[in-house]
């Protein structure tokens, strides 16, 4: 009886004997003092921190819109919102004479809706979602229609309308409302770049509605709004923070105030310092866990909206300002005294020299092959 032939073991290619072919991405969490407060108790007492806290609150009051500003923007927003809502109702009941576009929904978004506006920036935002495909001509026609309805309701109003790539603006002498045009999601795939408004812009306006809804449900604490206002002011004054988007600042402020072991809101002085500590430790650098965008699918981290050069810029700017803050320079950071040069020039604080951090990322030089590849992609 013949036995079965002996089967030789299969030989695996050399590369496959060394484990997995790719390395899984495991995001790291930068050191966060607020998460290990028991192991690192604060060295300063509340009385020692009082000047810093008072300066933060003083600066917030300076940045908060005045009562006349708030009244003027609220009045204009209310009038425009009512005019748009009336148009939605009229089209639903088939009694509207406006045929240039059909309105699906009208939503307030942005800093006015969130209560984080800055003084001398009296601008509010409203997103109008169209059932029809959005064109520049339709947006202009809608702007003229709203303007006519407002003047018909109150002939004493002195208003102007200006069309732009995002929609249109209606302004009074002391306030402006930006109308941002979007379309219903099923229409997005039908957009033609040669005819309709920009698809990326439409998606951004729809995202703004999700952001406003999330903020209203989760970031209603007053300290969060104060911290957002302070961070937006830092962004305006320090070039290194310019890449931070309003949505990044919203999420960062919420994280700094609420994300801690006690689940209780942190004091404003602790939270402000924590933001600089987080950014300085690489919270918004490649490989960091950062903050997952709560309004997007796919575990998207919010800081990927910045390129590598911008991420590095935010990090080294925060490192410099944190050293200045550690040596008592909070008035210069907040803009109460001095100027923004402390982030880019050497400064001395009670005999201690603070030298600005250098950038760590060097943008690779573009080779001839890269240029040829880009030209080929553009041609295709």
Judge whether 365 lies within some domain: no
Domain boundary among 216, 251, 284: 216
Domain that holds residue 157: 67-216
Same domain, 189 and 99: yes
More reliable by pLDDT, 21 or 96:
96
**Residues 324 and 333: beta-carbon distance below 8 Å:** yes
The confidence score (pLDDT) of residue 33 equals 86
* 302, part of any domain: yes
The contacts of residue 75 (CB under 8 Å, 6+ apart) are 175
Residue range 62-114, pLDDT digits in tens? 999 999 999 999 999 999 999 999 999 999 888 888 888 999 999 999 999 99
| Phi and psi, residue 169, nearest 5° | -125, 145
- Asked if the model's pLDDT at residue 124 lies above 90, the reply is yes
The pLDDT of 277-297, averaged and rounded, is 95
CB 324 within 8 A of CB 342: yes
With a cut of 80, say whether residue 15 has pLDDT above it: no
- Mean pLDDT calculated for residue range 209-233: 97
Same domain, 303 and 315: yes
CA–CA gap between residue 212 and residue 94 (Å, rounded): 30
Based on the fold, state whether residues 152 and 291 are members of the same structural domain.
Answer: no
Residue 13 lies in a domain: no
Residue with tokens 């006349």: 68
Task: Give me the pLDDT at residue 69, please.
Answer: 96
Average pLDDT in the chain: 89
pLDDT for the residue numbered 14:
53
Task: Say yes or no to pLDDT of 142 above 80.
Answer: yes
Task: Quick: pLDDT tens for 240-284.
Answer: 999 999 999 999 999 999 999 988 999 999 999 999 999 999 999
Count of domains observed in the chain: 2
Say which CATH number the domain at 240 has.
1.10.1410.40
Rg (the chain; Cα; Å): 27
Considering the domain architecture, whether residues 188 and 231 belong to the same structural domain is answered as no
- Give one word for 264, left, alpha or beta, with left for phi > 0 and alpha for psi -120 to 50: beta
Q: Is the pLDDT of residue 293 over 90?
A: yes
In this prediction, residue 196 carries a pLDDT of 94
More reliable by pLDDT, 155 or 222: 222
Residue 367 pLDDT class (50, 70, 90 cuts): low
Q: Do the domain assignments include residue 228?
A: yes
CATH number of the domain within which 131 lies: 3.30.460.10
- The residue among 365 and 210 whose pLDDT is bigger is 210
Same domain, 184 and 243: no
Per-residue pLDDT averaged across 337-349, rounded? 91
Question: Does 17 fall in a domain?
Answer: no
Would 178 be classed as within a structural domain?
yes
Token couple for 380: 């295709």
Give residue 117's pLDDT. Answer: 96
Looking at the fold, whether 56 and 109 belong to one and the same domain comes out as no
| 284 sits in which H/E element | none
Read off the pLDDT of residues 159-208 as tens digits, 9 standing for 90 and up.
Answer: 999 999 999 999 999 999 999 999 999 998 899 999 999 999 999 999 99
Is residue 250 domain-shared with residue 117, that is, in the same domain?
Answer: no
pLDDT band at 10 (very low <50, low <70, confident <90, very high): very low
Q: What is the mean pLDDT of residues 32-39?
A: 84
- State the average pLDDT over residues 148-154: 92
Query: What pLDDT, on a 0 to 100 scale, did the predictor assign at position 34?
Result: 86
pLDDT category, 48, cuts 50, 70, 90?
confident
Closest CA to 85 of 103, 58, 111, 66: 103
How far apart are the two ends of the chain, measured CA to CA in Å?
68
Sign of torsion over alpha carbons 246, 250, 251, 255: positive
Structural domain ending residue among the three candidates 216, 250, 280: 216
Residues 41 and 131 in one domain: no
pTM of the model: 0.87
Same domain, 280 and 319: yes
Residues 140 and 93 in one domain: yes
Rounded percentage of the chain residues whose pLDDT exceeds 70: 88
Domain boundary among 196, 216, 236: 216
How many other C-beta atoms can be found within 10 angstroms of the C-beta atom of residue 106? Answer: 18
pLDDT band at 375 (very low <50, low <70, confident <90, very high): low
Of 274, 290, 269, 262, the closest CA to residue 38 belongs to 262
Same domain for 131 and 270? no
Residue 28 domain-assigned (yes or no): no
Is 88 inside any structural domain? yes
Tell me, yes or no, whether 256 and 349 share the same domain.
Answer: yes
């Amino acid at each position: 009886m013949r036995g079965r032939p002996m089967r030789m073991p299969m030989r695996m290619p050399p590369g496959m004997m060394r484990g997995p072919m790719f390395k899984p991405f495991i995001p790291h969490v930068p050191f966060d003092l607020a998460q290990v407060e028991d192991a690192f108790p604060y060295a300063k007492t509340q009385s020692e921190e009082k000047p810093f806290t008072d300066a933060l609150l003083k600066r917030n009051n300076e940045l908060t819109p005045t009562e006349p500003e708030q009244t003027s923007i609220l009045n204009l927003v209310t009038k425009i919102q009512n005019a748009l809502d009336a148009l939605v109702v009229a089209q639903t009941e088939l009694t509207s004479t406006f045929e240039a576009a059909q309105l699906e929904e009208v939503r307030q978004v942005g800093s006015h809706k969130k209560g984080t506006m800055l003084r001398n920036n009296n601008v509010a935002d409203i997103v109008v979602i169209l059932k029809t495909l959005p064109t520049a001509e339709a947006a202009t026609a809608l702007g003229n229609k709203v303007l006519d309805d407002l003047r018909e309701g109150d002939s004493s109003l002195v208003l102007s309308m200006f069309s732009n790539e995002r929609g249109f603006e209606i302004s009074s002498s002391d306030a402006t409302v930006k109308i941002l045009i979007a379309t219903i999601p099923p229409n997005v795939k039908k957009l033609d770049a040669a005819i309709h408004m920009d698809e990326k812009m439409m998606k951004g306006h729809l995202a703004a509605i999700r952001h406003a809804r999330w903020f209203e449900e989760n970031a209603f604490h007053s300290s969060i709004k104060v911290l957002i206002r302070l961070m937006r002011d830092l962004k305006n004054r320090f070039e290194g923070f310019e890449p931070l988007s309003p949505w990044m600042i919203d999420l960062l402020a919420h994280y700094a105030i609420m994300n801690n072991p006690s689940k209780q809101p942190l004091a404003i002085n602790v939270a402000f310092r924590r933001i600089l500590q987080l950014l300085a430790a690489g919270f918004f650098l490649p490989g960091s866990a950062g903050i997952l965008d709560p309004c997007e699918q796919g575990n998207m981290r919010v800081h990927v909206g910045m390129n590598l050069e911008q991420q590095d810029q935010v990090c080294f700017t925060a490192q410099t300002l944190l050293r200045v803050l550690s040596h008592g320079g909070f008035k210069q950071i907040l803009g109460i005294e001095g100027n923004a040069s402390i982030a880019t020039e050497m400064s001395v604080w009670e005999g201690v020299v603070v030298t600005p951090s250098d950038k760590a990322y060097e943008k690779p030089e573009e080779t001839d092959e890269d240029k040829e590849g880009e030209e080929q992609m553009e041609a295709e």
